[in-house]
Each structure stands twice: as C-alpha cells, then as structure tokens.
Structure 1
C-alpha cells in the first residue's frame, strides 16, 4: 500500500479545493424511473388523508410526475448555476457552495441546513445576501458559504459513530479558515442550528455573530438555574405532546436508522413518502405542501438523496446526536445572537419564548415572524435575508 509522505517539517500540504459540478449518470436516472414504475403499493389507510402518514393519492401523483415529467437535467443546470466546490477536511470530501458579494466586500457567512433537507434549501438566500441592494434589502453584503452536512448529498460521512453537530462545527471552522475567513458569521436551522451554536461555543474568537431560525438544542435547566416561566412551561408541555404524537420518525432514526435505511435506499416510493411527510408537516403550508414548495423543488431534494444514496447516513445524525440534544451547565454562548422565530414550526403555538433562548444565548435580536415554518430559507427567504442583514449591520 502506498502512503502519502509527510514533508520535512512535519506538516502535510493543505488539501486542494476543486470545482464541483452536479452530474448524475443517465443509468442512475433510468434505474430510478424503472423502480418508480414498479412500485408495489400498500393497502390504503382507512383514516383521513395524511392522518396515518403520507396520503396515497398525493404520493401517486408525485411519483407519476417524478418518473415521466420531472426534468432532472433542468434542475442540474439550475444547481450548477451556483459555484460549487469540494475539499478534504479531516479526511472527508466536503461539498459546499461559495458565492461572494458582488461588491467585493462581503461579510463571510456560513449557512447550515438540517434534516431532511440539503444545501438546496439555502440557495434562495444567495442572491439576496450577495447583492442585497439589488433586492431592496438594507444592510451589508455577504460572502455566502453553504456546506452539505457530512453524509448528505455530495459530502462524505466518517465510517464511525459519534459524528455529532459539535464535530461538524469543527469541520466548518477549518473550512472557513481554509477559504481565508479568520472572522465570520454563521446561520442555521435544525441540525444546522446546533452546528452554528457549537461554532459559537468552541470558536467564539472567530464568530462575528450567529443567526438561528429555530432552536435545536435544549438549554440546561437543572439545579442552580432560575425556575421555568409560565411561557416556558407551556412551551415544554406542547413539545412533549408533539414528541408523543409526531416524533416517531425520531425514535426510529435515533435507535435503528440502518434498518430503516434498507427500505428507503431501495424504494423511491418509500423515500419520497418518508421525506415529503416531514416537509408538509413542518412547513407553514396549512396541509397543502405545494403551497410552500414547488413539486420540482421537492423532487430535487428527494432526487439528491436518491442519487447519492445518502438517506441512511443522513439519518445517523439522530443516533449520533442523542447525547447532544441538551446543553450542559457550562455551555453559554457569549457571541451576539439573533433568532428569527417563525410561527408555524412543529408545535401548535410556534416557537419557544425568548427567555428560553436567553438561558443559553446572548440574544441581541428576537424577531417573531407571523408566517413561515421550519424551512425558512425556502419558505420565507426575503424576510430571513432582511433579518440577517439587519443583525449583522448592527454588529
């Protein structure tokens, strides 16, 4: 076996940064269409539509469109309109989009998605943040970096357990340094919110500020902390009800993701049903998923998971982060923090109250948003971009 020799002085060369183009082989797409046409449909649920899972009539419509009308090559051209790269970080090939401010004076900003999402969710923010003036947004421009989480899309995942959001924060810090950004901002949602939080905890000297569109990590509420407020108690009661009624997906993904992965990696119908249910339930769509997202957008997300065979490694985020769902008593984010609180995420009454966030973060801006859900970068890109620009302008 050949091994790379370490140069004199003991330092390895910095891994190269390579341009990346999305290009799925035609045989992969042909196999996908064939599998969709051969779907073996289960018996219909006797319950009302969506009550026991993804509605059969809707899924049949989507799969027919996916097989016969969806133009993946057009989506490839759209994705390849953004500058994409891959580089090796901690032995992993990490994929990311990098678009610089049109005025050449952008604030570096790393944006991190979550599950069941991908870098595609954040693309609507790119023109708004790199050229805000052209879109009527007051504030600074940004150099935008959108990495794909390890094990999602075109980013590799380590072949080991324990690949948690704190580890990913370290990868992102190294990536931003390699791109020449000694100081930068960060923004995220879902697992991306946790990654952003750990960036601020572990590398505060490098973080200008952080902006979250949801709170993924629970604060420490043990001995020595102030009693819960009425609003916090009401929020936690709702959260527990949601966990009891709707978080079955999390239970299986945080215990037996491999078992589920065999089915989802083998069946396009199963993969689409599993993912689309979450995009519908967690968005501000009032039950009509295509009110928030075009069918082409949704199938672009699902096709990325299918063609890269990354649904199984992506679900490992749940088992690998089981011990990272709550922060410890020593975890206090002193980096300036903004939170855009989108009203219709998961729970009946929206997001947690401000005092819940202030247990962990130095909250400088708290924006209750009357509309929008869990996937804010696609659902409400303009308000999210405005908040981002306003927050960093104040810093």
Structure 2
C-alpha cells in the first residue's frame, strides 16, 4: 500500500468565491414563533456567515490542521485521507472514525489527548473532505470496515482497536464482525447499530420496548433529514453544494439539536471549529457525497442478522444528552449485539462527544484499551 504525505491547502480562488457567495446570500424571511422552532435561526445564521466571510482566518486554521501528520493511501482503488499519529514504541494502535454531519476535525482533540499513549489513525470516511467516495452504490458501514482493516494492515498493524460514534460506531461494529481476530476491542459512543430483534430473538424487556417506542416517536418528529438524505441526496445536494448559507443551516441545525448545548451553539463549540468543518465541506464539495451514506446504508446496507454477535471486548460510553434519538437504550439492548465489558454513563455530553467533552471521552477510551 502506497502511503503519501498530504498537506491541507485550499486555493485562494475557492476562498474568494466562498466569501462572494456569502455576501450575496438571498435570505428567507424570519420564521414566526420561537427561535429555532422551524429550523436554523435566521439571526444566528446571518451573524455566523458574517464571521465566516470577514472574521474567520482560514489560513490560521489550515496551519493548525497541518501540524498533524496527514496522509493519503489507495486502498482497493479508493483514495483514503487520514491523520496518522505515532505514539511511543509499542503503543496500542487505534482507528478513530467520525460520523455525519462531521469530519475528522471532530476527533483531533482525541489525538491531542491520547497521542502520548497510542498510535492513532483518523480516516475521513469515503465521501467526506479529502476522501473521495467511490462512484457506485453500496458504500455502507461494512464496506468501510473492510477498507479500514486493509488500511490498518497496510500500515503494518496486525492487531488494533477501534472507536467510533454515529456512522463510525457502525464501522467499528462491522470491523469486529468481519475480522474479530484482528481486534483488541471496540469502543462506541453512540447507539448506532440496531441489534437483531426478529423471529427467534429474546422478547424485548419493558425497558427495551420503551426505548423502541421512544425511537418511533423521535423518528416521527426529528427524522426528516434522514428521510431526505436516504432517498434524494442528489436533489438536496444541489442547494447545499451551491449555497454556503444552505450548507451551514443544514449542518449546524444538527450540531445544535444533537449536542449538549442547551440550545446555545456558541457556549458549546468555538466558531473556529464549526467554520473549519464547514470550510472543508465547501472547499471539497463533499456535502452531497457525505449524505450518500444514508442512501447506501438504507437501501444497500448489510443488515445485522440473528447469528451476528460482536465477540470482541466492547466498551459503551453513554452521554446524558444524546439526542439521536433523545436518551439511551438500556444495557441489555447493547448486550444483544455486543460483548459489553465496560459500561460508562456520563452526566454530560451529547452526540458529538469528541468535540463537546473530549477529556471524558479520551479518558474512557484510554482506560478501556490500556492494560
């Protein structure tokens, strides 16, 4: 496997075009009623885009990103971008995988906190930022899990662990199902994977049934984004790829509603972090390809069957304000699929734990994987 260094470098022309489009945004009217009740608040978004155009120093952020060791490698004909941080000799290797709507940037705080102990590989999912998506359907969690195994082995690692949230939790799960002999363990921070509950499975406990019912209610009011992205990502993509305001509104609505922000994005995330991720999506034109994750996993995804069981040690980190959907399932729900060895409820944090509470998440990962 040929590995090459990579430098983050966005052309000036792309940045100039971005600023011009922001300044020529055609704004809708303000939604009546409570702020954010019908989606991203107009006043917040206008202020954020003013900052994006005139107060955000991308070149400084670019220099900060390039302090990490960026690489690219071709794996089965797919070019994968990743950050590769080498720890001390004999360090345990871990692959850390983000989800949607996120990028590798969310996980860099874990690199800062775990790098003295672990070898860390932080790939961009296919279709996100600097990892192009293969031009076909079927790029689901299991497919990516296979790519990650070949990436890790191509880097010289025989055995390794995995952490993930959102789609990353699904990738980590399938890594354990595909090649359990390679896995030291997996650590997941969101309830991404639905265990098999069909014929022949144990009946749901009252707590599990309550969770299933709650998910159904959440789906009815909050799952609209997923319904569109899993059926018409291309149609939605024309607007998001053409309008910085549309892109920011669509993504930041989720960062606000899924995080432990209490409705205040600026109190939870610094704007440089949010604008860095938005700029990466804009500069690479990858928001549409990232949304294809929903299409591929819904229509071409690998389902969890009655014989599927993760037989490698698994750690579950539960964050009190996980809003996808709101609340967390009981331990017995996870034990239907995983060999749960560590169960850690946290009193704060949400869906983007690596960016919200990186100290808590990094400590839990280190405690699980360190002998």
**Structure 2 length normalisation: TM-score?**
0.98
CA offset digits 1:73-122 (Å, max 9, x no partner): 01101100100100101111110001111x32210000000000000000
In the alignment, what sits opposite 2:71? Answer: 85
List runs of 5+ in structure 2 lacking aligned partners: none
Question: Is residue 140–residue 302 contact of structure 2 (8 Å, CA) maintained in 1?
Answer: no
Secondary structure of the corresponding residue to residue 50 of structure 1: coil
Q: Residue 60 of structure 1: which of 46, 50, 69 is its match?
A: 46
Question: Is residue 142–residue 302 contact of structure 2 (8 Å, CA) maintained in 1?
Answer: no
Judge which range, 380-389 or 52-61, deviates more.
380-389
Q: CA deviation at 1:237?
A: 1.6
| Partner Cα separation in structure 1 for residue 12 and residue 325 of structure 2 | 44
Q: CA deviation at 1:224?
A: 1.5
Secondary structure of the corresponding residue to residue 74 of structure 2: strand
In the alignment, what sits opposite 1:128? Answer: 113
Q: Residue 153 of structure 1: which of 101, 125, 129 is its match?
A: 129
Q: CA deviation at 1:393?
A: 2.3
In the alignment, what sits opposite 2:15? Answer: 29
Give the RMSD, CA atoms, in angstroms.
1.1
Kindly report which structure 2 residues correspond to 1:1-395, keeping only aligned pairs within 5 A, or say none: 14=1, 16-101=2-87, 103-131=88-116, 141-323=117-299, 324=301, 326-346=303-323, 350-394=327-371
| Partner Cα separation in structure 2 for residue 347 and residue 206 of structure 1 | 30
| Partner Cα separation in structure 1 for residue 213 and residue 348 of structure 2 | 22
| Partner Cα separation in structure 1 for residue 230 and residue 112 of structure 2 | 36
Judge which range, 377-386 or 33-42, deviates more.
377-386
CA offset digits 1:55-74 (Å, max 9, x no partner): 00000000000001101001
| Partner Cα separation in structure 1 for residue 115 and residue 201 of structure 2 | 41
**Structure 1 length normalisation: TM-score?**
0.92
Q: CA deviation at 1:43?
A: 1.6
Question: Is residue 82–residue 122 contact of structure 2 (8 Å, CA) maintained in 1?
Answer: yes
Q: CA deviation at 1:326?
A: 5.0
Judge which range, 261-270 or 103-112, deviates more.
103-112
Q: CA deviation at 1:348?
A: 7.5
Secondary structure of the corresponding residue to residue 79 of structure 2: strand
Secondary structure of the corresponding residue to residue 272 of structure 1: helix
Question: Is residue 331–residue 360 contact of structure 1 (8 Å, CA) maintained in 2?
Answer: yes
Judge which range, 316-325 or 172-181, deviates more.
316-325
List runs of 5+ in structure 1 lacking aligned partners: 1-13, 132-140
Q: CA deviation at 1:153?
A: 0.2
| Partner Cα separation in structure 2 for residue 99 and residue 328 of structure 1 | 36
CA offset digits 1:213-254 (Å, max 9, x no partner): 012110001122111112111211221111110110000000
Question: Is residue 217–residue 325 contact of structure 1 (8 Å, CA) maintained in 2?
Answer: no
Question: Is residue 218–residue 325 contact of structure 1 (8 Å, CA) maintained in 2?
Answer: no
Q: CA deviation at 1:347?
A: 5.6
| Partner Cα separation in structure 1 for residue 325 and residue 223 of structure 2 | 14
CA offset digits 1:355-378 (Å, max 9, x no partner): 000000000001011100001111
Question: Is residue 141–residue 302 contact of structure 2 (8 Å, CA) maintained in 1?
Answer: no
